[in-house]
Amino acid sequence: MRIVVQKYGGSSVATPERIKNVAQRVKRKVDEGYKVLVVVSAMGKTTDNLIKLAREVSPKPDTRELDMLLATGEQISAALLAMALKDLGVRAKSFNAFQVRIRTTEEHTAARIVDIDDGVIFENLKDHDVLVVTGFQGVNEKGDLTTLGRGGSDTTAVALAAKLKVPCEIYSDVDGIYTCDPRIHPNAKKLKYITYDEALELTALGAKVLHSRSVEIAKKYNIPIYCASSFNEEEGTLVVERLPEWLEEPVVTGATISHGQIKVTVSYLPKDANLLTAIFNEVAKRLVNIDMISLVPSNGDLFLSFTILEDHREDLEKALQEALKGVEGWKSSYQGGFAKLSIVGVGMRTSPGVAARFFEALKRVGITPELVTTSEIKISCLVPEEKAEEALKEVIKEFEL
C-alpha cells in the first residue's frame, strides 16, 4: 500500500471553491494509486477570528476552553473536504484528533504530540482511500482537547508521516521555501533543497512557512518534507538531511525577521548561580521563551539581558518576582520596539568572515547591534523594529539572497 501525507493550510481551504480545488488535487493522487492522509488547517482566518471572539468574552481566556474553541476550526474544514471528496466519488472520511487518538502533552495552546494511534488509521484505510484529519489539535491524558501552537497543522502532518514512515507534502500559498519571505521581498529566490538544520533555524527565528516543531520531528525520523503551492504545479522545495553533492553550498541560505521583541534587563543581581537557575526555572514553568541571553558582571553584581516576545511580558514579570523573592536591590527594565534579524546557512561552518559581512551590512544602514547570538549555522542580531526591513534588504544584497 503506497501512502502519502498531504497537508493543506488555511489559505488553501479558505473558501468552498478552494476546498473543491483541494479535493481535485487529492483525487489525482488517489488516481495515481495512493492512499492519502490529508491534514487540514482551519479555513482562512478562522483561528484568528476565534481568538478575537474569545477575547471579547474574556480578556485572558482560560486556555482549556480556548483549545476547545480553536479545535472547532479544523473540524469544519476536515468535514467539508471529506464531503467534497465524496462528491467526486472518492472513498473519504474525516476525523478529529479524538477519533484518531492524537495524544499530546498537557499544555493547553502549546501541547506536543506524544503518539498517534495508527490502528485507527490502518483499520479505516481498509475501505477508504482518503482519511482527512484535523491538524493543530490533540487530546491530553485528561481527555481534554489541546492545540499545538499557531501554525501547528504542519506538525500534525509530519507526525503522522513519521508514525507511518511515509513522505509528507505540505501545500500552502507559496510554491516553496525561499531565501526570505517572498511576500515581503519579491526578489527572494526559491530553494530547491534546504537542510533540516537550516529550516529548523529559519522557522524558529520567524519564518512561518513551516511550524518549527514539524521540522524537528522530520529531522528526528528522517521524513522528507516537500513544500509547494496548492494553487499551481510549480516545483517546490525539499527539506532533507543533506544537500545533494552536486549542489554548491551557499554561505548563507536564508534570512528572516522575528518581530515584536522586547529587551529585558535585570540589573544588580547578586553573583549567585542559584539565583540564575531559579530565574530560568520560573521562566520555563510559565512557558516563556527567552533568547539572546547576555550576562555582564559589574562591581560584584550581575546584569542579565535577554529578549522575549511582547505577549510574554506579564508572565515574565511574575517569574522574576517569584525567583527573586527575598533578594534586595534588583531592578528590571523592559524596552520594546525590537526585531530579531537572522541569517542562516550550513555553509557558515566552513566560510569565515560571515559575521563581519553581516555587521558591515547593518552598519551601512546605521545599525549598531544591541544583542547578538550565534550558533554554528546562524547569526541573530537585535535591531530596532523600524529599521528591520531596511536592514534585511541590505543583508539580502550582501549575501545575494
With CB under 6 A as the contact rule, the residue among 61, 73, 138, 151 that binds ligand ADP is: 151
Could you say which residues in the range 3-42 bind Mg ion, by CB under 5 A?
9
CA count, 13 A, side-chain hemisphere, 255: 26
C-alpha span between 288 and 282 (Å, rounded): 9
Q: Report CA Rg, the chain.
A: 23
347 binds ligand ASP (CB under 6 A): no
11 binds ligand ADP (CB under 6 A): yes
Task: Give the list of residues 6+ apart from residue 377 with CB closer than 8 angstroms, or none.
Answer: 197, 198, 201, 344, 345, 346, 348, 349
237 binds ligand ASP (CB under 6 A): no
**SS3 category, 313:** helix
Q: Which three cell numbers stand for residue 40?
A: 487540514
With CB under 6 A as the contact rule, the residue among 46, 172, 212, 214 that binds ligand ADP is: 172
103 binds ligand ASP (CB under 6 A): no
Q: Is 80 exposed, middle or buried (0-12, 13-18, 19+ CB in 10 A)?
A: buried
Q: Which stretch binds ligand ADP (CB under 6 A): 107-115, 175-183, 295-303, 353-361?
A: 175-183
C-alpha span between 321 and 41 (Å, rounded): 39
174 binds, among ligand ADP, Mg ion, ligand ASP, none (CB under 5 to 8 A by kind): ligand ADP
136 binds, among Mg ion, ligand ADP, ligand ASP, none (CB under 5 to 8 A by kind): ligand ASP
Q: Which stretch binds ligand ASP (CB under 6 A): 114-122, 147-155, 253-261, 308-316?
A: 147-155
Asked whether the beta carbons of 151 and 208 are under 8 A apart, the reply is yes
With CB under 5 A as the contact rule, the residue among 151, 152, 176, 347 that binds Mg ion is: 151
Q: Which stretch binds ligand ADP (CB under 6 A): 62-70, 167-175, 290-298, 344-352?
A: 167-175
CB atoms closer than 10 angstroms to residue 59: 7
238 closest CA partner among 145, 313, 169, 148: 169
136 binds ligand ASP (CB under 6 A): yes
Site for Mg ion, rule CB under 5 A: 9, 151
Q: Residue numbers of the site for ligand ASP (CB under 6 A)?
A: 9-10, 41-42, 47, 73, 135-136, 150-153
Residue ranges that bind ligand ADP, judged by CB under 6 A? 9-12, 41, 151, 172-174, 177-178, 180-183, 207-209, 254
